[in-house]
Amino acid sequence: MRTTIIGGIFAVVAAALYGIVAALVGAHRGASTPTPVVSAPPVVVVDVDSEYVPSGWMGDGKDGQKYLSLERNSSDVFGVQKTVIKITARPGPQGWAAIYWQYPDGNWGTSPGRNLTGHRKLTFLVRGENGGEIVEFKAGGITGKFADTFVQTVGKIDLQKTWDRQTISLGGKDLSNVVGAFCWSAAAADNKSAPIVFYLTDIVIE
């Protein structure tokens, strides 16, 4: 009789343990595997003057150094030595001049540019020789078979004599093909004095 009772108790305990183990196994099998969080790759800052080429000379710039010049010099900018670009535009028959920074060198949309998807803005430092020079700045806008997939401008700016940081917003723009990363243009009609002289540095896309 005692043996029967003990056997019955053992059977009840075993059944209970089996139920607990089964429940735990089922819960484990049914549990969803956490989805790993994948961080977006960091956006690499593009130094436009290093990775693009100021080869797109337009307007009077097509005649080269006769009406337009571009020089690079080392200069102090806010206490730091930087490479500063000096632009000098003299009046010519077209009445305007411009330069595009292109990728690759001399590309007017005949070959693909660079994919800069994920970048949000283009910034640069600019100042005029005397202040009051009027220059337009933009990014994108080259046409052709492999045209830029966007164009954005800050319009015409009245330059200051001291360094001024400008921003061209690229948020929401299609940057899958960037041929002309940066461009300036200046018209004689907008500027009372000649030549038009201004300086650029820190042209970056980030």
Q: Is there a domain that residue 13 lies in?
A: no
Q: Report the number of distinct structural domains present in the chain.
A: 1
Domain containing 97 — which CATH number? 2.60.120.430
Q: Is there a domain that residue 195 lies in?
A: yes
- In single-letter form, the type of residue at position 83 comes to T
Tell me the residue range of the domain where 171 lies.
46-205
Q: Which residues of 95-128 are buried (b: 16+ CB within 10 A; e: fewer)?
A: ebbbbbbbbeeebbbeeebbebeebeebebbbbb
What's the pLDDT at 37?
52
CA 58 → CA 64, 113, 116, 129, distances in Å? 9, 19, 25, 22
Q: Contact 136/157 with Cβ under 8 angstroms?
A: yes
Report pTM: 0.81
Distance between CA atoms of residues 100 and 179, nearest Å: 9
| pLDDT tens digits in sequence order for the chain, 206 residues long | 444 433 443 343 344 444 444 444 444 444 455 555 555 567 899 999 999 999 999 999 999 889 999 999 999 999 999 999 999 999 999 999 999 999 999 999 999 999 999 999 999 999 999 999 999 999 999 999 999 999 999 999 999 999 999 999 999 999 999 999 999 999 999 999 999 999 999 999 99
Distance between CA atoms of residues 175 and 148, nearest Å: 8
Q: Is there a domain that residue 24 lies in?
A: no
Distance between CA atoms of residues 158 and 132, nearest Å: 5
Closest CA to 180 of 126, 123, 84, 114: 114
Distance between CA atoms of residues 205 and 59, nearest Å: 26
Q: Is there a domain that residue 113 lies in?
A: yes
Q: Is there a domain that residue 19 lies in?
A: no
Residue 23 — φ and ψ, nearest 5°? -65, -40
Q: Is there a domain that residue 181 lies in?
A: yes
